[in-house]
Amino acid sequence: MKGNAWKWLAIGGAIALLVMFGLEMSNTGIERIYGPIDGEEYTAGSGAAEYATETDKRIAELERELEEIRRIAYGNGYEGEGTRLPGMPSENDQPAVNKLADSTSGLLQSASSKGIRFVVGLFDGWMN
């Protein structure tokens, strides 16, 4: 009995360590993508936003440059975020993969229902 208790204790400890390691790794991955959890993006200053890090400041500068490039490219007809590049489908259009998946699912559903009706028809004719 004592030997089993030590085995279960060792297994429980190993599982606890693995869970803690997994939590740390997921936290590190989230911080790598979204930034630190307890940090703020910017703090309100005297009229203008003061950025917490140089990276945030650089991102804001690049976004302003991108906005300027779009204004130059489109001319006076630029409307901001709602405009799309020429030749790009609107957001309401479905991708070709979704259209293919929808048509395939419809085909499979009709084949399935017809197959069930065929089997039911066979048994119905056999029973009557």
Does the residue 15 lie in any domain? yes
**2 lies in the same domain as 29:** yes
Does the residue 90 lie in any domain? no
Does the residue 106 lie in any domain? yes
Give the H/E segment covering residue 50: strand 49-51
Domain that includes residue 102, residue range:
98-128
Residue 99 half-sphere exposure toward CB, CA atoms < 13 A: 5
Residue 48 is predicted with a pLDDT of 45
**127 lies in the same domain as 102:** yes
Residue 10 is predicted with a pLDDT of 92
Residue 73 is predicted with a pLDDT of 76
**4 lies in the same domain as 27:** yes
Residue 13 is predicted with a pLDDT of 94
Asked if residue 94 has pLDDT above 50, the reply is yes
pTM of the complete model beyond 0.75: no
Does the residue 89 lie in any domain? no
Q: Which two tokens stand for residue 27?
A: 């936290």
pLDDT digits (tens, 9 = 90+) for 34-87: 776 665 444 444 444 555 678 888 888 888 888 888 777 776 655 555 556 666
The domain tally of the chain equals 3
